[in-house]
Amino acid sequence: MAGKFELYQDKAGEYRFRLKAGNGEIILVGEGYKRKASAENGIESVRKNAPLDARYERKVAGSGKPMFNLKAGNGQVIGTSETYSSDSARDNGIESVKANAPDAGLDDQTA
Range of the domain at 31: 4-108
Task: Give me the sheet containing 66-71, strands edge to edge.
Answer: 56-60, 66-71, 77-80, 26-29, 15-20, 4-9, 105-108
pLDDT-based confidence at residue 94 (cuts at 50, 70, 90): very high
Q: What is the pLDDT of residue 111?
A: 79
Number of domains in the chain: 1
Which pTM does this prediction carry?
Answer: 0.94
Distance CA(88)–CA(94), nearest Å, equals 10
Residue pLDDT, tens place only, 56-77: 999 999 999 999 999 999 999 9
Q: In this structure, what CATH number is given to the domain that contains residue 17? A: 2.30.29.80
* pLDDT attached to residue 1: 62
According to DSSP, the β-strands at 66-71 and 15-20 are unpaired
